[in-house]
Amino acid sequence: MTDTFLIIGLGNPGREYKDTRHNIGFMLIDQIAVRLNAQGMRLQSKAIVTSALYQERKILLAKPQTYMNLSGQSVQGLLHFYKIPTENLIVAHDDLDLPLGTIRIRASGGPGGQRGMASTIEQLGTKDFPRLRLGIGRPPGRMDPKDYVLQSFSKDDMTLLPAVLDRAADAVFEFVMKGLNAAMNKFNGVAS
């Protein structure tokens, strides 16, 4: 097993999407980058990439710049370029089916309506790779989910978000150091 890990957060590029629910994957990458004091961003494989060391393991952090529905192009390009096995990849993304504050790590699975995951599965030719689902909750009333995910988080949600992102970052570090099963056992569920 290589000591290099690729952590990809899904989202949409552009200032207008910065604080939207759909960009919680980008927010997680930013949180990890700050915690690891990651230096030197570059554009590679249609993604903004930076890297850092965490307890002797190299972590590549990436935010695809293709828009959500083409994210798989970046994921596939980075995996291929760095020759990283899929078991050392984790893709973080928003999930409507989980309440805000809930994170769920899975070894594989379908896209669940998440177009960035659908693109990634298509590009990789497999659904068997780790993912970190970050709950954003369901839209209120009859609001279209497409409109909901492109809205900014509410003020109340913004107060909860730092703790959620910290816990998700801890889950990524657990995954890097102790593996997928350890991360699933310790972190699946609601943020405390």
22 among known catalytic residues:
yes
| Residue 34 to residue 43: CA distance in whole angstroms | 18
Catalytic residue among 22, 46, 93, 167: 22
Q: How far apart are the first and last CA of the chain?
A: 32
Find the DSSP H helices in 100-142: 115-124
User: Residue 60, class by beta-carbon neighbours within 10 Å (0-12 exposed, 13-18 middle, 19+ buried)?
Assistant: buried
Phi-psi bin for 46: left (phi > 0), alpha (psi -120 to 50), beta? left
Report DSSP state, residue 132.
E
How far is the C-alpha of 28 from the C-alpha of 106, rounded, in Å?
A: 17
Strand intervals (E) in the chain: 4-9, 39-44, 47-54, 57-64, 89-95, 102-106, 131-135, 189-190
For the annotated catalytic residues, the residue numbers are: 22
